[in-house]
Structure 1
């Protein structure tokens, strides 16, 4: 019940069954939230039993008796792809939430006289400026002087009705040898995955690795709160290890932060191009992108 939200494999099994029957198009995330409640209530109304949103014995029996209606892929993945397709290839008007980690009293690791929080905030500002120049609407998940929880960041971001959320983080390890950039999207052991998040993390990895000395630590599906609780496709980019001298040299260099911001923006553009009129990885520049966006905007106006 919504008054006592549940998490677990049994909830994921319920979501998967409702998805198979065409009543649930969200992520199979194992969280019994409002969307799962409404989907279950819709199923109950459809088969003529009390639509209380409670998965009791009668509802369970009905679920078991009915066969699959939806085939050919995840409805949630299909819905995500269609949203991207409908938005079109131009960046103007796209709504993006940028989520720099830490903040306020949480400064993180200090390297070469600059804090982890300042590195992430500076990168967020560089990315925001480039996105704004292309006509995108940008929002920050937090003010400079605050460090909200992951759930609070997700709640704030959901209020913006954004198309994407990009979360920026750094990593560290007890071993100074650990190094590299990794990107994360929503994905769980039940086979549910944010398809758009998965595609975007792939672009992000390739672009950053092609443009910087950072090692490719690949993309990964996770069920972290920030990835699970956001309504829009969300990616988290762990930009390097502040416990590694080589990564520190990259992240504390303002020019390299410019390069990383450019790589992320180009990755978003590649996502919306849907594989059409694309350029080789690492070759599309911000100047070229900006000129193209402004040219299209002039033709439309």
Structure 2
């Protein structure tokens, strides 16, 4: 769909109003609101609609710009589903998604079935978890969530209590991975690419800068023995869902997505990192930890303004099965940030900071050093000493 924003009119706005009413973000029909179905006011995207959209975006972990683009429209549609409204099953060509899928995934996780992250997409892992539940409960293990399965889900008590099993699984996988970098598979995702140049200011493009940063990061990771894979070619720009599918298919341990930002205000500046989190409790705990480590390393090394570590439900964060972090390195619309990003030595500093953040994640606080004091040489030396110790 095309973007809808304040000042627009048409049937699309009528649909958006109806959705927002259903979520209690706009007055119900018949209230004191001036907007009535079939009226010009009802078809107008006014300030009330913008405020309601912003409130919805804030609730769902989206960018709170008050504009209904593809991501916000998808979230509005998905939020309208509750578990039991429809049968749920694996659809390869067009996966089912919605809040009903989130509820199913969270319920299966509570019962002890591993469906991965409750991202709201009915994927193969969700189907496997559902089949496991159906077998254990004496149902036909067809992987379809219909009336009988729903009845059983409501009747069966929890197998797991007193914690969040998804969180525990992520932490256990991290612990088992060990502190060594060698053998770990990391997908590096340089934003945009091909004909999509991303943010472009004074001839400087986000796609070019992030491609260069990604190559620098890949080189450093490869030197430590990690397997670093790029999510795209230099001349291509796959959609986020395709990038997530690549990471899932390759069995990556982590995904690092690299971007810069822009703002209508030339004063906007700084560094931010993002991890999966839907605002209602579901989060990637390891992703959040890694985002925080990278944020702190880069802040000390670059002296950029701290824009924080935040949860989001963007497709790449939501659809990947492994911890994923998006790094927004400055604003190209800010003169100071742009000057830094144009300096190859600065991009080397950023690459080193991200690598050290990953290393510190796997150290789990053991034999660690204060933030900002680790260097690429330190990481290499530790990897070499560990390899030599294993060879003895």
Regarding TM over 0.5, the answer is yes
Tell me which residue corresponds to 2:90. 2
Preserved contact between residue 12 and residue 190 of structure 1 (Cα < 8 Å)? no
The reply on whether 1:239 has 2:329 as its aligned counterpart is yes
> How far does residue 267 in structure 1 lie from its aligned partner after superposition?
0.2
Specify the alignment match of 2:152 in structure 1: 62
Determine the structure 1 residue equivalent to 2:39.
none
Name the SS for the 2:247 alignment partner. Answer: helix
The equivalent residue for 2:349 is 259
CA distance 1:8–1:184, change in 2 (3 Å): same
Asked if the contact 1:25–1:75 (Cα under 8 Å) also holds between the matched residues in 2, the reply is: no
SS of 1:92's partner is coil
Q: Rg: which structure is higher?
A: 2
SS of 1:145 mapped into structure 2: coil
TM-superposed CA distance for 1:113, in Å, is 4.6
Deviation, 1:270, is: 0.4
Aligned length: 301
Match 2:294 to one of 196, 199, 204:
204
Q: Check the 8 A contact 1:270/1:278 in 2, yes or no.
A: yes
Structure with greater contact order relative to length (CA < 8 Å, sep ≥ 6): 1
What SS does the aligned partner of 1:44 have?
helix
Give 1:158 shift.
1.9
Question: C-alpha separation between the residues in 1 aligned to 2:297 and 2:191?
Answer: 21
Deviations 1:93-126 (A, max 9, x none): 1111111011122223344653221110111111
| Shift, 1:52, TM fit | 2.4
Show the counterpart of 2:195: 105
TM-score by length of 1: 0.95
* Structure 2 residue matching 1:159: 3-state secondary structure: helix
**Distance in 1 of aligned mates of 2:139 and 2:250:** 37
Q: 1:265-276 counterparts in 2 under 5 A?
A: 265-276=355-366
Shift of 1:25: 4.1
Mark the runs of 5 or more structure 2 residues left unpaired by the alignment: 1-88
Match of 1:181 in 2: 271
Structure 1 runs not aligned, ≥5 long = none
Matched, 1:125 2:215: yes
Deviation sequence 1:181-222 (CA, Å, 0-9, x none): 111111113311111101000001100001102111111111
